[in-house]
Amino acid sequence: MGACVSTSSKSTCSSRSNGETVSPSCLGIRVCGQKRTKRTFSDHVTTLQHLPSIPNRIFMNGKSRTSCIFTQQGRKGINQDAMVVWEDFMSEDMMFCGVFDGHGPHGHLVARKVRDALPMKLLSFLHSYQSRGIGSGKTCFKGNMKKSDGGDCEKDCSAEDKLNSIWREAFLKSYKAMDKELRSHPNLDCFCSGSTAVTIVKQGSNLFMGYIGDSRAILGSKDNSDSMVAIQLTVDLKPDLPREAERIKRCKGRVFALQDEPEVPRVWLPFDDAPGLAMARAFGDFCLKEYGVISIPEFSHRILTEKDQFIVLASDGVWDVLSNEEVVDIVSSAPTRSSAARILVDSAAREWKLKYPTSKMDDCAVVCVFLDGKMDSESDYDEQGFSSATLQSNHSGNAIESDDGQKSEPSLQRNFTVRSSEDSDSYGRLPFDVEGNGEAMATEDQNWSGLEGVTRVNSLVQLPRFSEERPNT
């Protein structure tokens, strides 16, 4: 289990005449925030054992005040997707959301471990900034960050850069600490198992994002003609993304696609045709960490506007069969907001049957966040057949969760395509050419949309086979 994390602030707050309290840390975090009328997570010390009882935190099919989440097992074994929405994350106006797609024999445990531990680590780093007094001074953001005109522009730009720097460092350190914990975990083997992560923190109009792997986040927004449009917030970090392929090559890893699935680039060991990981960044997967696969997240910051309606986070089981525009149309046309995530998963399941009837449907996990902060009435919610937000439903295929991997799980795992060394040698490969000058690569990288490459197969082709001929690394 992770160590205890104290989230109670020792800083004092000065009050304004309107009753609003102001945090002296001025991180744009507003730990003190407005005067509370109820206890939140920030009022006490917690451990990972206490997470299921945290108010305003949901991690199984259900809804919160402003969002709904839903996951469904595919046809590859136990559901290896995980998700979480944590409102009142650090203050009453802050929310953490994440979707995690596990792969490998213990991928379901890795995804759940990351789901539970990563937000705690991010919270711990943010509080460490406050305790050290970073960000104190004249620069202060409190939720809604808007740039001014005229003489204040330079000051605001500098303040925004400082805020971005703090949040970027918090995400980078949190992801690094998470991967380090997985590497040293005594009861969870992550050598050939791992997980993606797409995580966001929303506070007021500020949206901070960190992500690895091929899970994706999009934004549903209205254009000038008041029509709904899809805006992709993250990039699918696949091995054929130019900068990813170049890094893997420098580290002696190999990137190529099998002949029977030319649209799926994979990462392979330098000395063996294994494991065939279909992403360039992931938690775990330590058999490939020396060969270019990393857990360093991409970070971005966006200022939301009144035209922005909702955010959708989902695993690749959704994106493999639905486009960004289709997802936005489905969510915006859902009869009730609380049913949007379930309807989106149902739509993806139908598309799997129609488009790929001979393929095994992947697990799907969806988080829908509505930016105006409104949700349906409880009666509308009950009509959709969901349980209350505080009652987690046990969807089919999920065993009793083990937060730290110590308890035994069913032996049901993803249906791997395991090939012998003789078989793997006979399979054709389509190498990805990452040669060329840096200028051409940079241009190609800038034009990368992250939409290419449909993965209708397992994230791992096979587990590594370390024979006696393995060269020393």
Vertex 320 angle, CA 110 and 71, to 5°:
50
> Is residue 12 assigned to a domain?
no
Give the total residue count for the chain.
473
> Residue 428: exposed, middle, or buried by beta-carbon count in 10 A (0-12, 13-18, 19+)?
exposed
For 441-455, the DSSP string reads: HHHHHHT--S-----
Using the predicted structure, report yes or no on whether residue 31 has a pLDDT greater than 90.
no
d(Cα 141, Cα 205) in Å, to the nearest integer? Answer: 11
Contacts of 216 (CB under 8 A, 6+ apart): 198, 232, 233, 234, 236, 313, 314, 316, 319, 450
> Is residue 397 assigned to a domain?
no
As a whole-number percent, the residues of the chain with pLDDT over 70 amount to 66
**CATH of residue 326:** 3.60.40.10
> Is residue 142 assigned to a domain?
yes
Is-contact 89 201, C-beta < 8 A? yes
Give me the sign of the Cα torsion angle 451, 86, 65, 9: negative
List Cα–Cα distances, 99 to 82, 126, 141, 267, 302, in angstroms.
6, 21, 27, 23, 19
> Is residue 299 assigned to a domain?
yes
Q: Summarize pLDDT for 177-220 with one digit per residue, the tens.
A: 999 999 999 999 999 999 999 999 999 999 999 999 999 999 99
d(Cα 218, Cα 432) in Å, to the nearest integer? Answer: 28
> Is residue 278 assigned to a domain?
yes
Contacts of 129 (CB under 8 A, 6+ apart): 25, 27, 135, 166, 170
What domain count does the chain have? 1
> Is residue 454 assigned to a domain?
no
Report which of residues 459 and 107 the model is more confident about.
107
As given in the structure block, the two tokens for residue 294 are: 């990393």
Using the predicted structure, report yes or no on whether residue 145 has a pLDDT greater than 70.
no
Contacts of 323 (CB under 8 A, 6+ apart): 230, 451
What is the pLDDT of the chain when averaged over all its residues?
A: 76
> Is residue 188 assigned to a domain?
yes
> Is residue 5 assigned to a domain?
no
Structural domain of residue 378, as residue ranges? 19-384+408-446
Q: What is the pTM of this model?
A: 0.76
What is the model's pLDDT at position 156?
65
d(Cα 81, Cα 83) in Å, to the nearest integer? Answer: 7
Q: Summarize pLDDT for 214-273 with one digit per residue, the tens.
A: 999 999 999 999 999 999 999 999 999 999 999 999 999 999 999 988 999 999 999 999
